[in-house]
Amino acid sequence: MSNKPFKILYVDDEELNLLNLRLNFQEEYEILIAQSGQEGLDLFTDHDDIGLVISDHRMPGMTGVEMLSEMYRLNPDPGRIIITAYSEAENVIEAINRGQISQYIIKPWNRIDLKLVIDQARSAYDLRRENRLLTLELAKKNENLEEVNKKILVINEVLKADIRRRQSAEQGLKESEEKFRMFTHASQDMIFLFDVNGTCLYCNPTVEKVLGYQVEKLLGTDLSFAIYPDNISEITGKIGELLKGEEAPDSLEIPILQADGDYLPAEVNLFSFVLAKGERIIGSIVRDISKRKEDEKNLRQSEQRLRELSGALISAQDDERRRLSMELHDEFGQSMAVLKLQISGVKNYLFNTEEVDKDTVVDYLNELRLLVNSLIESTRSLSRDLWPMMVDDLGIDAAFENLASTFLQISDIKTKISTCEIGAFLSVEQQRHVYRVIQESLNNVIKHSHAKNLTVDICHDNDIIQIDIEDDGIGFDVDSVLIRTGTDRGIGLQSITERVQMLEGELHVDSVKGRGTQLKLTLPVSAMNSNNP
């Protein structure tokens, strides 16, 4: 990944808003600013490495949605975020699809929330860029394969010329046979020669290496047995084209039966030549393309995972907003209403009572103090869920002690915890990722494992940090969970995996149904130190 700072274009017709965003984020990102839609569009055209565009909705002339729609047409890779007033939100949502906008933010924005949105947009941009590079790499490999095929066709023509020269002299025949033998034995591709009836006349040693058949046993057999039944008519048609015309037909991809009974994906190229006696010989150069097929499959899976992750992130954001709304309404709204009534009661007592009783006032104040303490604790709990502030303030070691204490309070699982201090080896951002991995793992134990016992072991030894979390719960089938797609695959394990990759670590999940789960996280200390600021 490039070491260049992530470049953000912020477009707003109010200079104060531009200054506010730049003051908040200019140390972490490269900020470009524009005060109109047209100015923003010009900057976007001049800079091809902008990763995110943030725009105010209402601007004189070109609106934010109109500008972002044009930017999407020019380059769909950068993220696009619209900032709007709350009263405009419903009108903006209708226009979002036209601009292919990933999300919108309500004014006034919060720095922490906006930082999370920017980091998510940066991750999505990096994933899209990596996907594009993989696509280009695959296209390059395909171009190279096409070039090799062309070279093979040229070699085929050389072989045909050698065969024609054998008609004039026995010595020429021997030399041609020797050249052919050396070429086919050195070739990494499988080479077959057979007559018009499909009877094998020759195959090179690569056939035995790749397919597992003994060369001697293939000679004189009908090669159609190795072709998948559904492809026989396709092969027959290609051979018919070859016999009718002078040019070799296009290559085709078909499965070839191996000696062990499995089918190997292969690319088949056909050619033919005529012997001195007029006998037509058909040749086939068969290439193992299983690696290419695997690369194509991995690329498709990568694209699918990108789509799933984007959808999961949006759903997670919506769920979190919904939860916060309910928390604020049910917890804080009701508590504040009670606090208001309590204060009014104290006020009425003080003004409507001729002789104020000190103990009564103290009781009133104690009730108010308890209610305020409850509000403070609820605020802290909600803050911890949103952002691990304790990690930023006191470090991961203290934060984990607090997390473990909370876990022991809310869970009836018998827990054994063994830790050593690891904060000195991690930057603040890395500590946040490690904290979230541990927090998510413990949440999974509470929600899904039905475990009675839990062991957490955190230690460092020489150049690695080792984190082991093991429970004796119901377990799960790891392979079936990892291959799930869409909404069937939860975001928890996927989030843990992504964070471990960002930490350049290794994650091993070992679980058997009915026999518990073990999560082992290994982090290289050398990589951590190299990433520390």
Per-residue pLDDT tens, the chain, 533 aa: give them: 456 788 999 999 888 888 888 888 888 888 999 999 899 999 999 988 898 999 888 888 888 888 888 888 888 888 888 888 755 656 666 656 665 677 778 878 888 888 888 888 888 888 888 888 888 888 888 888 888 788 888 887 877 776 666 655 466 556 666 777 787 888 888 998 988 888 998 889 998 889 899 888 888 888 888 888 888 888 888 888 888 875 677 888 889 999 899 999 999 988 888 876 778 888 888 999 888 888 888 888 877 776 676 656 556 555 655 655 565 555 566 667 667 767 877 777 778 777 777 777 787 788 777 777 777 766 666 655 555 566 777 788 887 887 777 777 777 888 888 888 888 888 888 888 888 888 888 888 888 888 889 999 988 887 888 899 999 988 888 777 766 554 555 557 777 888 888 888 888 888 888 888 988 989 887 655 555 54
Dist CA 135 CA 64 (whole Å): 31
Dist CA 267 CA 290 (whole Å): 10
SS3 211: helix
Dist CA 221 CA 117 (whole Å): 65
DSSP state of 448: I
Is the distance from CB of 435 to CB of 398 less than 8 angstroms?
no
**CB-based contacts of 189, cutoff 8 Å, min separation 6:** 152, 206, 285, 286, 287, 288
Dist CA 10 CA 18 (whole Å): 7
Phi, psi of 426 (to 5 degrees): -125, 145
Closest to 115 measured CA to CA, from 392, 324, 378: 392
**CB-based contacts of 133, cutoff 8 Å, min separation 6:** none
Dist CA 278 CA 319 (whole Å): 77
Is the distance from CB of 434 to CB of 391 less than 8 angstroms?
no
pTM, entire model? 0.38
Dist CA 305 CA 299 (whole Å): 10
**CB-based contacts of 198, cutoff 8 Å, min separation 6:** 222, 223, 224
Question: Within 215-260, where are the H helices?
Answer: 215-218, 232-244
On the question of a cis peptide bond just before residue 5, with omega within 30 degrees of 0, the verdict is no
Dist CA 167 CA 161 (whole Å): 10
Dihedral over alpha carbons 365, 368, 370, 371 (to 10 degrees): 180
Per the listing, tokens 């200019």 go with: 26
Helix (H), strand (E) at residue 117:
helix 111-166
SS3 71: helix
**CB-based contacts of 283, cutoff 8 Å, min separation 6:** 156, 159, 191, 192, 193, 194, 270, 271, 272, 273
Structure token digits, residue 453: 């016992």
Tell me the residue type at 267.
E
Structure token digits, residue 462: 């020489």
Structure token digits, residue 115: 């930082």
If one counts every other C-beta atom within 10 angstroms of the C-beta of residue 125, the result is 18
